Amino acid sequence: MLITVNGKETELEREVNITGLLNQGYVEMQEYVTVQVNDTIVQKNEYDGFIIKEGDIIEFLYYMGGGNCP
């Protein structure tokens, strides 16, 4: 099955949910990542039941805070 992960085409050998994809090492610090599938943010409580499908576009997003306003 061919999907796109963070802009790179990736082939999966079998069907997987978001939790499984995270566990395959695509991200560091899983507790801080937000997952977007086909331009839709997926809630963490949906990861186990959300099955990745052929052609899906997955983005792993990290939101960083900080900086200094003058």
One-letter amino acid for residue 35 of the chain: V
**Strands 40-42 and 2-5, sheet pairing:** unpaired
- What pLDDT, in 10s, does the model give residues 19-35? 999 998 888 888 889 99
Phi, psi of 18 (to 5 degrees): -60, -40
DSSP for residue 23: I
What is the pLDDT tens value at each position of the chain, 70 positions in all? 999 999 999 999 999 999 999 998 888 888 889 999 999 999 999 999 999 999 999 999 987 766 666 6
Q: Which pLDDT does position 52 carry in this prediction?
A: 97
37-46 LR contacts (CB < 8 Å, sep 24+)? 42/18, 46/18
Q: How many CB atoms lie within 10 A of CB 56?
A: 17
Q: Which domains are seen in the chain, by residue range?
A: 2-62 (3.10.20.30)
Task: Determine the Cα angle at 3 with ends 51 and 34, to 5°.
Answer: 60
Q: Which pLDDT does position 69 carry in this prediction?
A: 65
Q: Which pLDDT does position 43 carry in this prediction?
A: 97
